[in-house]
Chains A and B, each alone.
Chain A
Amino acid sequence: MPKSNEPLPDFSDVRSGGSSTAPATSPTETYTVKKGDSLSKIAKRVYGDAAQWQKIYAANRDIVENPDLIHPGQVLKLPAA
């Protein structure tokens, strides 16, 4: 472990990528989170049903750890209704 007085490393220059033997699906619709948004508000706007927030949460578990905590600027994948 680094000593507590050491600065945290900056990983902003990390390069990443990937590929698959499977064909890619058509691009998924996305939504960029704005200030004051919540998953239920987005679900209401997109699907007309706030209870569908769990669908958005399930599709974005890789970037949303806490469904009650999303951040402006986050780009969420929107599964088909």
Chain B
Amino acid sequence: MKYVGRTLSSLAVAAVALAGCGGGNDAASGGGAETGAAASVDTAAARAASNELSISNVMIGRRIGAGNRITEPTFQFVPNDTVYVAVATEGTPASATLGAVWHFQTGQLVDSSSQAIQPQGAEATEFHVSRPKGWPVGTYKVTVYADGDSVDTKTFAVKK
């Protein structure tokens, strides 16, 4: 199992569809009607059913709601905020490890955490950080990893 980007997943879906079309006259392919049906499969559904993990969206914000969706997206925080990053994924690999590594503008490591999950299709995984004493004012970045590969980085600011 490995991370693949949305573009690669889409290409793979297209390649499968084209391969199916090419075998339309072959009995083994299941006949023309089925080939046509395969070609019309919604690509989003195909991605969700893939056994390879794809990242469909990464959002950052100060509030999170049902289904681990960011309800108040922002790149500007105040010192007492909890910072959330939500990672939407598709695919059904046997397992996947998502991680979030947070750095301050000085390069200091703020926090690093990961979650090992068994995605069942479209899923949302959130990471959050807070600091009881309040965040120092400045610029931060959070890098999201999927199975060890960096998949997105968000930069945000803390201002008074």
The verdict on B72 contacting chain A, using a C-beta distance below 8 Å, is no
Total chain B interface residues with beta-carbon distance under 8 A: 44
Whether A14 and B130, one on each chain, are in contact in the complex, defined by CB atoms closer than 8 angstroms, is yes
A41 within 8 A of B: no
Shortest A57–chain B CB gap in Å is: 7
In the bound complex, do residue A58 and residue B148 qualify as a contact, i.e. CB atoms below 8 Å apart? yes
Considering only CB atoms, which chain A residue lies closest to B120 in the complex?
A: A22
Are B130 and A62 closer than 8 Å at their CB atoms? no
Contact with B along A41-61 (1 / 0, CB 8 A): 000000000000000011111
Chain A interface residue count, CB cutoff 8 Å, equals: 27
Q: How far is the CA of A63 from the CA of B148 in the complex (A)?
A: 9
Chain B CB within 8 A of A69 CB: no
Question: Are B67's CB and A21's CB within 8 A?
Answer: yes
What residues on A are CB-neighbors of B148 within 8 Å? 57-62
**Given A11-B110, A24-B118, A58-B131 contact (CB < 8 Å):** no
The answer to whether A62 touches B112 (Cβ under 8 A) is yes
Assess whether A21 is in contact with B124, with CB atoms less than 8 Å apart: yes
Answer whether residue B99 sits at the interface, using C-beta atoms and an 8 A cutoff: yes
Cβ B130 vs Cβ A25 within 8 A = no
- On whether A18 and B115 interact (CB within 8 A), knowing A11-B131, A25-B95, A62-B101, the answer reads yes
Interface residues of B in 87-114 (CB under 8 A from A): 89, 95, 97-102, 104-106, 108-114
Query: Which A-B residue pairs are the 6 nearest by beta carbons?
Result: A62-B99, A61-B148, A20-B125, A22-B117, A22-B123, A58-B148
Given contacts A18-B113, A22-B89, 4 further A-B contacts (CB under 8 A): A11-B108, A11-B111, A16-B129, A77-B114
